[in-house]
Structure formats: C-alpha cells, structure tokens
C-alpha cells in the first residue's frame, strides 16, 4: 500500500484499474472506458492488454501493483482463488500499489473463504475489499447487462456500485464479506439441476421423434420455461457447444459449492451427480464446451 490518500475517495471515482482481460473482463473494462473513466489495465498475457488499449485508449500496466497505483477502485476478473491471490498479494500484487482507502472489487467466481481472507488483509492495510461475482455470461458482459452479487461493507458498496452499474443491470449487496460468492454458489447449484433436466427433456423428445424446436417454442411459454431453455435449448438440439461458459469453469464452480456445503452441512445430491456428469463431458473432449453440453453424454450413452 502506498502512503498517499486515494485521490477522490469521497467523490465520484474517475480513475480505475482493471486486472484480467479475459472473455468477461475485456468487455467489462471496455464499458468503463466508454463511460469516460480513466482506465489502466493489466493482463498476464500482455498482448491482450495491448489489444484492449488499442481499442479503448487508456493505459497499460505491466504488473497489478503498477495498475493499482492512484486508482480509486481496482477491479479484477481472473480465474480462481489462487489467481486472485496472485494479482492481489505479494510484491507485484495490487494491494502493494493501492492508495489508502481505495477499494478492490473482485468479479472472479471464487470461494467465500478467499473473499474473507482478502477482506481482512485489505482492512489491515487500510484498504477495502468487495466480493462481486457476476452472472449473465459473455453476452451479459458485452451488453453491459450482468447481475452482480456483492459482499462487504455497505458504505464501500455504495461507493463502488455506480461504477459497477456501467456493466451491471442488477448490482446488489447481499451481506457481509463472502455473501456475494455464496449467492453465486446458489446460482450455480440452481443452474446445474436445470441444465441436466433440460438435457434429459430434449434427449427424450428427440428419441420420441418430436419436432424439438417446435416443442421448446411451445413449452417455453409454460411452467418449464427457463433462461437455459430460451438461450441454450436450440443449440442443444443442434449439438453446438463451441461458445459460452466452459465446462472446466463450471466444474471449478461446483467444486467450490460442494466444498462450502461440506462446511455448512447442506445436502446437494443432484449437484454432486451433475458435477460427475461434467467430468464425463471433460473425458469426452468437452473441457471448453459450453455448460449446456451435458446432453452430449446422454447421446453417447444411448448411441
Ligand atoms: N465466461 C463466462 O461466461 C463467465 C460467467 C460468469 C462468471 N465467470 C467467471 O469469471 C472469471 C473469468 O472468466 P473468463 O471467462 O473471463 O475467463 P478467461 O477468458 O479464461 O480469462 C481469465 C483471465 O484471468 C487471467 N488470469 C488467470 N490466471 C491468472 C493469474 N494467475 N495471474 C494473472 N492473471 C490471471 C487471464 O490472463 P491470461 O490472458 O494471461 O490468461 C485472463 O485475463 C472466472 O472466475 C469465471 O468462472 C465467467
């Protein structure tokens, strides 16, 4: 942490840093630049950061620490708990470069434990930490329509929320540190069961010889409707999975859910089963397939 106070800690943040320009982070950071904020980006693979600066302007930093210097808010969207630790902690980490009272907002889907750990390290250094995982996928990031689930201090949340609304339609504080990640776990548990149910429904309908695009058009107006049916039903029928939210990421998320459930005592039998089914999809070569690819193993089983 540097000594000087955050340049506009009491006013509207003008200067922000964004760490991690992947499928999600690249367009999210782009919305901040389009909104007129002064954005400095860092990406482990420098070519992506160079491409981002060529597209949006702004500045490029070679370490998270350098990116974080003088920023009112430092935002990140990297892969998992360890990736998050590597961009926040240590000599080159963002915390070492942040000004007193600046806030770090993490959009990675990670554990509630790492959120609480970084919240308390940040507090010891007179910094703030908000866990803020997102839902809405690549399209949500590109269209600026993400759901953002936050955990942390209310006053800090109020300070960062206007910035998050540049790419979020629903930006909500759910509780203290870790509550955002716990909410994202609820989201992923709900998705796992729905995708398996939809896979079995489509698989059954195709075996029954039905015109499945027509069937989905009809039943999506009734009680079986879901985001998965509306956005993934037809591509599941066609067997197209080369887009979207990768199976590898979903397994990372379900491992976090199952681990947390061990701690809090919740019983998650379907989630545990679907996690194993995703393992089968990985073994069939589908590590980068979209999450809707659960139907692939049903087709394989009945081939
Ligand atoms: N994709 C989705 O639909 C979606 C939806 C909701 C939530 N999420 C979550 O959002 C996060 C990012 O997903 P994504 O799809 O954007 O992933 P991605 O395209 O693989 O991007 C990951 C980003 O993190 C960086 N990174 C990874 N490990 C790092 C490390 N150790 N140090 C520094 N940078 C590191 C990568 O840098 P490099 O460019 O150098 O690899 C890249 O910029 C994940 O937690 C994911 O679960 C994704």
* List of residues 6+ apart from 76 with CB closer than 8 A: 18, 19, 20, 25, 64, 84, 87, 88, 94, 104, 105, 106, 107, 108
Answer yes or no: is 10 within a domain: no
Do both 62 and 19 map to the same domain? Answer: yes
> Which pLDDT value is given to residue 13?
67
pLDDT tens track for 184-232? 999 999 999 999 999 999 999 999 999 999 999 999 999 999 999 999 9
Tell me the average pLDDT of the chain.
Answer: 95
244 — pLDDT class (breaks 50, 70, 90):
confident
Answer yes or no: is 7 within a domain: no
Do both 131 and 206 map to the same domain? Answer: no
Do both 228 and 267 map to the same domain? Answer: yes
Ligand 1 pocket, residues with Cβ under 6 angstroms: 20-25, 43-45, 48, 77-79, 83, 86-87, 108-109, 134-135, 137-138, 245, 249
Do both 165 and 24 map to the same domain? Answer: yes
Do both 142 and 200 map to the same domain? Answer: no
| Å from CA of 77 to ligand 1 middle | 6
pLDDT tens track for 28-59? 999 999 999 999 999 999 999 999 999 999 99
Closest ligand 1 atom to the C-alpha of 249? 47
Answer yes or no: is 9 within a domain: no
**For residues 113 and 298, what is the distance between their CA atoms, to the nearest angstrom?**
35
CA-closest candidate to residue 184, choices 146, 154, 228: 146
Closest ligand 1 atom to the C-alpha of 109? 45
**Residue at which a domain ends, from 156, 176, 196:** 176
Mean of pLDDT values over 122-136: 98
184 has catalytic annotation = yes
303 — pLDDT class (breaks 50, 70, 90):
confident
5 has a pLDDT exceeding 60: no
Among 184, 221, 252, 262, the one annotated catalytic: 184
> Which pLDDT value is given to residue 16?
98
Answer yes or no: is 190 within a domain: yes
| Å from CA of 31 to ligand 1 middle | 17
**Residue at which a domain ends, from 133, 160, 176:** 176
CA-closest candidate to residue 75, choices 88, 62, 63: 88
Let me know: does 71 contact 17? Beta carbons within 8 Å: yes
CATH number of the domain encompassing residue 201? 1.10.1040.10
2 has a pLDDT exceeding 50: no
Answer yes or no: is 4 within a domain: no
CATH number of the domain encompassing residue 172? 3.40.50.720
Q: 284 — phi, psi (to 5°)?
A: -85, 5
Answer yes or no: is 270 within a domain: yes
| Å from CA of 134 to ligand 1 middle | 12
Do both 243 and 221 map to the same domain? Answer: yes
Answer yes or no: is 3 within a domain: no
Answer yes or no: is 2 within a domain: no
Name the residue with the closest Cα to ligand 1, atom 42: 22
Let me know: does 254 contact 274? Beta carbons within 8 Å: yes
11 has a pLDDT exceeding 80: no
Let me know: does 147 contact 136? Beta carbons within 8 Å: yes
266 — pLDDT class (breaks 50, 70, 90):
very high
269 has a pLDDT exceeding 60: yes
Q: 270 is in which domain, residue-wise?
A: 182-302
Mean of pLDDT values over 111-118: 98
**CA torsion 234→237→238→244, rounded to 10°?**
60
DSSP state of 246: B
pLDDT tens track for 141-190? 999 999 999 999 999 999 999 999 999 999 999 999 999 999 999 999 99
Do both 46 and 163 map to the same domain? Answer: yes
| Å from CA of 20 to ligand 1 middle | 6
> Which pLDDT value is given to residue 41?
98
Do both 46 and 166 map to the same domain? Answer: yes
Do both 242 and 286 map to the same domain? Answer: yes
């Amino acid at each position: 942490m540097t000594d000087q106070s955050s340049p506009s800690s009491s006013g509207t943040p003008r200067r922000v840093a964004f760490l991690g320009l992947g499928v999600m982070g690249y367009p999210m950071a782009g919305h901040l630049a389009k909104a007129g904020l002064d954005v400095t980006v860092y990406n482990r693979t420098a070519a992506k950061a160079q491409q981002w600066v060529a597209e949006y302007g702004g500045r490029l930093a070679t370490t998270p620490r350098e990116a974080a210097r003088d920023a009112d808010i430092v935002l990140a969207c990297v892969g998992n708990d360890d990736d998050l630790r590597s961009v926040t902690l240590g000599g080159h980490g963002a915390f070492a470069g942040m000004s007193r009272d600046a806030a770090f907002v993490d959009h990675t889907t990670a554990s509630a434990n790492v959120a609480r750990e970084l919240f308390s390290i940040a507090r010891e250094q007179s910094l703030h930490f908000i866990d803020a995982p997102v839902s809405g996928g690549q399209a949500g990031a590109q269209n600026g329509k993400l759901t953002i689930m936050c955990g942390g201090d209310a006053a800090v949340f109020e300070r960062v929320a206007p910035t998050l609304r540049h790419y979020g339609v629903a930006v909500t504080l759910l509780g203290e540190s870790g509550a955002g990640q716990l909410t994202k776990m609820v989201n992923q548990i709900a998705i796992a069961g729905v995708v398996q149910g939809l896979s079995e429904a489509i698989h059954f309908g195709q075996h029954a010889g039905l015109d499945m695009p027509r069937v989905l058009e009809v039943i999506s107006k009734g009680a079986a409707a879901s985001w998965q049916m509306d956005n993934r039903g037809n591509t599941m029928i066609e067997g197209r999975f080369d887009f979207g939210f990768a199976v590898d990421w979903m397994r990372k998320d379900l491992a976090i859910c199952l681990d947390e459930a061990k701690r809090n005592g919740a019983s998650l039998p379907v989630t545990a089963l679907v996690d194993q089914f995703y393992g089968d999809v990985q073994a069939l070569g589908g590590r980068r397939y979209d999450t809707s690819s659960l139907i692939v193993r049903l087709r394989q089983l009945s081939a």
